[in-house]
A and B are shown apart, each in its own frame.
Chain A
Amino acid sequence: MKSEEMFPREAELLRQGLQEWADEGSLPSERSQALESLVRQHMGAPAKEPKRSRVPARRRWLWSAAAAVAVAVITVPVAVPSARAWVVETFPALASFLGEQMEVEQGWAWAEEHGQFQEILASAEDQGYTFRVHRVLADPTQTTIIYSVEGPDAEAMGAQAPDFLADGGGIRFNGESFLSPSSGASRIIERVALSSSSGTHRVIDGVLVGSLEIAALPEESGTLEIDLRQIGDVKGDWPVSFAVTRAPLTALTRTIQVDQVLHVDGGDFRVTQLEVAPTQTAVHLRYEGTAPAPDLISGAVRLITPAGPIEPRGVTASTDFSQTGVTAADYVLDFQPVPEGTEEISLQVDDMVMPLTGQKLSLPFQVGAAAAVGDLPEVTVLEADDTKAVVSWSCASDADYEFWWVIDDRGEAYPAVASGRTDGAGNMQLDISWDPLPAERRPVALEARQVTQRVEGPWEVQIPLN
């Protein structure tokens, strides 16, 4: 329902009240006389004299210090309207995309309200396709790049977002690799790699518009270079480069150091830091334990404020590493921004999916064979042939079996892929498939090399924000 339909009385009050207020306006006499002079000078100059230009007629009256500033500001940014025409007038598809996203992304809506999107005018054309970067939203928690692609064949552009890593492409910041297939395993790169295609996109009226979310800029300001090499099925080279800064939003972001622990079997989660930006809230967690790092499902960790729950936006995790038998992992959980004035938040975790240390499942390769890990339900082979198998187990225990391999009669192992579904009777059915084995080899066993179990919480920590 439209706002004016929801609040008809208020809309009418505003309309009538403002119209009356405007009708009752009058100009001071000196301003009224100034306008009269302006009109007379423009229209009344004698024929024998050259017409004065518009500018001097007004400027003679306006030449005071304040007026000079006003003149300069009015006359200088002539190029701005045509440049800003990238946003809406020329790209209604972009306006549609932004409007849709802002219904969900409260951080974007805030940024729009407060002029915090950086307007970018960077583009590259190749193979008949034009890649444009329109806006960037950079805060201490992440960097969002809003782009569009136009070209002769919307289908070739595809329903998929451009692959910013394909074919040697990547992103550099201040000359340093920020996102590339060959980057080292730094935290930033790992986080970016995990979310390299994080973002969203749509094709609207033949224009592909989308957002790419990557890690926060490692420095406050600098130059971001994007080298895009593939758009859908189209290979080419679309390099763009532009200045960006996260300084304004850094100034508005509170970073709260936290040291609160959630104990789980085999390890501890430590909430280390909270970043409260007007565009997003980021919760930093570190896991250390003898058990492998758990899988924090997006949505499993809830952020609650006195005003209610805050919607999650996603989870990124660093690469696990083991040092002297201790596994450690870093997580960053992103949420929509918390309401202004929030003084305390609560982090609540209901469930975690915990890998069982050192456990694996080994199944004989024949229909009807069954095996179990500890007290977990049996896994049964339902179907088996040369390149695929179907196994099943009860969902009651919330166990899961991952990283499947097929073992041949010489003891060699080959990786398999698996996809699961429930059968409607409370059982998980997993379809496992693999490439044909070498000639004269036959499968003799299936192995799941990671066994996980959902562990119920709840766990909760309170974090003051001041």
Chain B
Amino acid sequence: MLDEEAFLSLLKQQEGRLYRIALAITGSDADAWDALQDAVEAALCNLHDLRGGEEAFPGWIKRIVVNRSINLLRSRRRNIPVDPSTGLEPSPDPLPLPQESIAAREIWGLVQELDPGQREVVALRYLGDLSLEEIAQRLELPLGTAKSRLHRALVRLREQVADEQRRIAP
């Protein structure tokens, strides 16, 4: 089992990535931060479940972060209409990284503009590495809904990429 220093060292390597995964799933900084802390606590309490040592740590703790983010989403869900045009709150990430790739930033910008339901499915699929069946089950959605959200997100991305290309074309 990992000792304290090993755990901390591995966590520090992953914490930024884990935070962004939680942010993409939950859609808010506060929720992402809660989910991350919750996940770290859960990891500490279940360290005996980690198999494969340090190499397995990144995937293991990512799964815990994804699960805690989903739990938070479900507990936050409210029965009021959601304006489909509402995107994410602006990320308060105060450290824009000079080395951040343009492509990644643009993709994140496009994802932020998705309907919250679509963003959740996209984040769980491409950051959480969940199958659509798993996404449907975890979010308590019919599989058809999960599929249609992903479909609409991909269609929207295609449209936005095409718009961007038209914009920059000479």
Contacts and interface: CB of A to CB of B under 8 A. Distances in A.
A102 B15 CA distance: 39
By DSSP majority rule, is chain A's interface helix, strand, loop, or mixed?
helix
Interface stretch (A6-14, A346-354, A443-451): A6-14
A25 interface: yes
A14 B154 contact: yes
Interface string A341-383: 0000000000000000000000000000000000000000000
Contacts of A24: 16, 97, 99-101, 104
B101 A25 contact: no
A4 B125 CA distance: 11
A7 to B, nearest CB: 4
Contacts of A40: 4, 8
A442 interface: no
A370 to B, nearest CB: 55
A28 B158 contact: no
A27 B81 contact: no
Given A17-B106, A27-B16, A4 B154 contact: yes
Contacts, number: 198
Interface stretch (A80-88, A150-158, A398-406, A432-440): A80-88
B139 to A, nearest CB: 9
A220 to B, nearest CB: 14
Interface residues of B, number: 75
A252 B81 CA distance: 9
A297 interface: no
B57 interface: no
A316 interface: no
Given A7-B155, A248-B80, A25 B145 contact: no
A112 interface: yes
Interface in A299-358: none
A39 B103 CA distance: 35
Contacts of A4: 150, 154
B140 A88 contact: yes
Interface string A52-70: 0010011000100010001
A96 B141 CA distance: 10
Q: Which 3 A-B pairs have the closest CB atoms?
A: A17-B107, A99-B142, A25-B20
